[in-house]
Chains A and B, each alone.
Chain A
Amino acid sequence: MSNLILRQGVIAEDDWTLTVEAAGELPARAKIIVPLARWRTEREALLAGAAAVGVLLPNTEDVEALYPLIADRPLIALQFPTFTDGRALTQAVLLRTRLGFTGELRALGDVIRDLVFWLGRCGIDSIVPRPDQNLPSCQQALAEIGVAYQSAADTHTPVWARRRLRARAAAQARP
């Protein structure tokens, strides 16, 4: 079975296995994503048995307080219980811009095509759309609006800074 997601803007095969159970057997030597609670209590065993361990965060967690515990993880998964619940967007922005997380940041849950654009701008580079969503259409959504007034966790320069630079350049060009 192919397991396609959007990673760094392209459709890619996914080799992570998500576990939401609080306890029990895990696939050996696999790349696994486990709930935060399990990471807290089984850290050493998980690291010994898996090829890689990512952590699934509830969207109510304070990522700043938590960060020392997850900073070295290759993947952090954020949750969207409904597509209208934007709490994980703040988690994503803080992880990327304030805490400097450079690993894979994944969105899981009720991820519909029309949430994808906003996820991308908040620094989420690994998007698992809801199974009924059309993946090529989700990919298109990433670039739906090519200009932005502000930067979030993306490459946009805030519009006031763009205009500032433009005005300075214009002033310099004047004789």
Chain B
Amino acid sequence: MYRYDEIDRQLLRERTEQFRDQTRRFLAGELSEEEFRHLRLRNGLYQQRHAPMLRISVPYGLLESAQLRRMAQVVRKYDKGYGHFTTRQNIQLNWPQLERVPDLLAELAEVQLHSIQACGNDTRNITSDYLAGVAADEQVDPRPYCELLRQFITLHPEFYWLPRKFKFAFTGASVDRAATRTNDAAVHVLRREGTIGYRFFVGGGLGRQPLLGQEMNGFVPESDLLIYACAILRTFNRFGRRDNIHKARIKIVLREWGIERFRAALEQEYASILASAEGEQLKLLPEDIEQMRAHFSAPAYRPLAEVGADLAADGARDTRFAAWLKRNVHAHKVPGYRVVFVSLKSPAQPPGDCTAEQFETLAEACDAYSFGEVRSTYDQNLVLADVAERDLYALWTKLDAAGLATPNIGLTTDLIACPGLDLCGLANAGTTGVVREIYQRFDSLDAQYEIGPLRITMSGCMNGCGHHSVGHIGILGVDKHGEEWYQVTLGGSPGNDATIGERVGRALARSEIADGIERLIQAYLALRSDDEETFIECYRRVGMGPFKTRLYESEEESEAAAA
């Protein structure tokens, strides 16, 4: 965990006071609505339907117990007792009062939490592989590089007024668990013949024109992280469109110019920085990286003899525990330890929601069983990354009592969804009601295990916060003459095989959508070659045709009956 020093603390303190003064001037009528809008967005405040929403950055998804406890306090004191984890690993509060936000931010600042650049046309919070440091397939732990870049982009004056938002995502593993190529820039930290460097992708982004990042440079040397990032941001600041907000992301520059022209401009800027005094300043020395790496050293793992357990025997004692072991407990690179997924997808709460009591349970659980740290994931769940096998049963008991042990990781009810029309001012349609209906249809674990790995993702509007374009089954809420309708896409994927899903056809009515999803899943069960073939594999093999037929089947039947 990165620990703030006096420099970090002073910066956050003065930033918090800057926003306090801006809020005061707005409330006193000295700042216009429009002027204040841009200032509050850069402090995480977004106007929603009923109240402002405050987005709190969780840098690369890493949280410690003191922060979880503080979250419990602030959601009770300033909100309605819960927070919401997003696909970008952040936490959103939906009911703060503007007047009290400066105090809220000051309380968060005491535990290294902030909302700097959480919204607005600037460089956003960096996301990362939630298994950083513990994954067996990891080449390089990305976290030190994430933090080095976080500091570089935080309050960078040249890049504080970009054409549009800009998102970086990191991984250092061979499996992409952070949907990196759906971001404006993806950084893959890797080793080539023993030397560390970065593979950079640029131009990804979801929303109304979903596109995947394209490779710009296959190996940027380790020392040049900030230089290459600076070159990307400068190219974007200069050439990003400012005439149309819907065409202002870097992906549009890339699409309009083509990869070769964009790459040439980027590489030229990279070379120019390298050749200048600026390059000298931005170049990271091995000692800088070592110093940062020390913040993320491995915890004090104990020997296998002290932590190992016979999980098969433990599982045999309790079938619910066994189900959780099977779905929510994954391998760890250190013998005797496991990675535990905390599901935020229980039938009782909207996806990603976490109550004050759950924040407290998580703080206690990670202090007792996972070296005091928790990670938030791209899938709107949480991870306790370093749990001794011997502690699994006690941990499960604790999580289960708090509604945090639903054994559905990676399955049908592990749905990703934005808050939708209930809260969001942009949404065209609700998400939570549809999620609940799908949940009810597939609540039985046996049915979910039979279906196997499935990623259903849902957004309440085309801005795509619920990543519908990269779901195996994506659901997009649309407004038709004041009614909520739902478009379905199939075949999307956010990982190494990143693919933008294809739209099946006309939208389904609110009363039809859950049935439609159920028919798609039935179609898969009938079409799959054997039990091993997953939904996405099956879709790629047979194509959209048979799925499309089933999706619209009941409508055709009723039309036929009517005729």
- Assuming the A-B contacts A84-B121, A151-B281, are A98 and B158 also in contact, with contact meaning beta carbons closer than 8 angstroms in the complex? no
**Given the complex of chains A and B, what is the CA–CA distance between A90 and B278 in angstroms?**
13
**Given the complex of chains A and B, what is the CA–CA distance between A158 and B22 in angstroms?**
27
Q: How far is the CB of A169 from chain B (nearest CB, A)?
A: 13
A87 touches B237 (CB 8 A): yes
B278 touches A97 (CB 8 A): yes
Please tell me the number of chain A residues within 8 Å of chain B, measured between CB atoms.
37
Q: Which of B148-156, B354-362, B499-507 contacts A (4 or more CB under 8 A)?
A: B148-156
A151-174 vs B, CB cutoff 8 Å, 1 = contact: the mask equals 110100011111110011000000
Q: How far is the CB of A83 from chain B (nearest CB, A)?
A: 7
16 A-B pairs whose Cβ atoms sit less than 8 Å apart in the complex: A86-B161, A86-B162, A87-B238, A93-B158, A114-B35, A117-B157, A122-B157, A145-B14, A146-B10, A146-B14, A148-B11, A149-B155, A158-B281, A160-B151, A160-B288, A164-B291
Q: How far is the CB of A45 from chain B (nearest CB, A)?
A: 32
B1-44 vs A, CB cutoff 8 Å, 1 = contact: the mask equals 00001010011001100100010000000010001001100000
Q: How far is the CB of B387 from chain A (nearest CB, A)?
A: 33
Q: Nearest residue in B to A152 (C-beta to C-beta)? A: B157
**Given the complex of chains A and B, what is the CA–CA distance between A167 and B286 in angstroms?**
13
B160 touches A164 (CB 8 A): no
Residues of chain B from 281 to 310 with CB closer than 8 A to chain A in the complex: 281-282, 284-285, 287-288, 291
**Given the complex of chains A and B, what is the CA–CA distance between A85 and B159 in angstroms?**
10
Q: Nearest residue in A to B11 (C-beta to C-beta)? A: A147
Residues of chain A lying within 8 A (CB to CB) of residue B152? 149-150
A159 touches B151 (CB 8 A): yes
Q: Which 5 A-B pairs have the closest CB atoms?
A: A86-B161, A121-B157, A149-B151, A118-B157, A145-B14
A90 touches B234 (CB 8 A): yes
B151 touches A150 (CB 8 A): yes
Q: Nearest residue in B to A157 (C-beta to C-beta)? A: B281
* Interface residue B277 (Cβ < 8 Å from any Cβ of A): yes
**Given the complex of chains A and B, what is the CA–CA distance between A93 and B15 in angstroms?**
22
- Assuming the A-B contacts A145-B15, A145-B18, A151-B281, are A89 and B157 also in contact, with contact meaning beta carbons closer than 8 angstroms in the complex? yes
Residues of chain A lying within 8 A (CB to CB) of residue B162? 86
Q: How far is the CB of A152 from chain B (nearest CB, A)?
A: 5
**Given the complex of chains A and B, what is the CA–CA distance between A4 and B19 in angstroms?**
27
Q: Nearest residue in A to B275 (C-beta to C-beta)? A: A98
Q: Nearest residue in B to A118 (C-beta to C-beta)? A: B157
Q: How far is the CB of B325 from chain A (nearest CB, A)?
A: 43
* Interface residue A112 (Cβ < 8 Å from any Cβ of B): yes
Instruction: Select one of A83, A85, A114, A152 contacting B156, CB under 8 A.
Output: A152
Given A84-B38, A112-B35, A158-B281; 12 other pairs, CB 8 A cutoff = A89-B237, A98-B278, A145-B11, A145-B18, A146-B10, A147-B10, A149-B151, A149-B152, A149-B156, A154-B157, A161-B281, A168-B287
**Given the complex of chains A and B, what is the CA–CA distance between A112 and B38 in angstroms?**
12
**Given the complex of chains A and B, what is the CA–CA distance between A135 and B105 in angstroms?**
28
- Assuming the A-B contacts A160-B284, A164-B285, are A86 and B158 also in contact, with contact meaning beta carbons closer than 8 angstroms in the complex? yes
Q: Nearest residue in A to B276 (C-beta to C-beta)? A: A98
A159 touches B7 (CB 8 A): yes
Residues of chain B lying within 8 A (CB to CB) of residue A144? 14, 18
**Given the complex of chains A and B, what is the CA–CA distance between A87 and B287 in angstroms?**
34
A109-151 vs B, CB cutoff 8 Å, 1 = contact: the mask equals 0001011011001100000000000000000000011111111
B281 touches A89 (CB 8 A): no
**Given the complex of chains A and B, what is the CA–CA distance between A174 and B281 in angstroms?**
27
B154 touches A149 (CB 8 A): yes
Q: Nearest residue in A to B9 (C-beta to C-beta)? A: A147
Residues of chain B from 408 to 432 with CB closer than 8 A to chain A in the complex: none
Q: Nearest residue in B to A122 (C-beta to C-beta)? A: B157
Q: Nearest residue in B to A154 (C-beta to C-beta)? A: B157
**Given the complex of chains A and B, what is the CA–CA distance between A152 and B148 in angstroms?**
16
* Interface residue B217 (Cβ < 8 Å from any Cβ of A): no
Residues of chain A lying within 8 A (CB to CB) of residue B234? 90
Residues of chain A lying within 8 A (CB to CB) of residue B440? none
B5, B39, B121, B155 interface centre (most CB from chain A within 10 Å)? B155
Instruction: Select one of A84, A86, A93, A167 contacting B291, CB under 8 A.
Output: A167
A152 touches B39 (CB 8 A): no
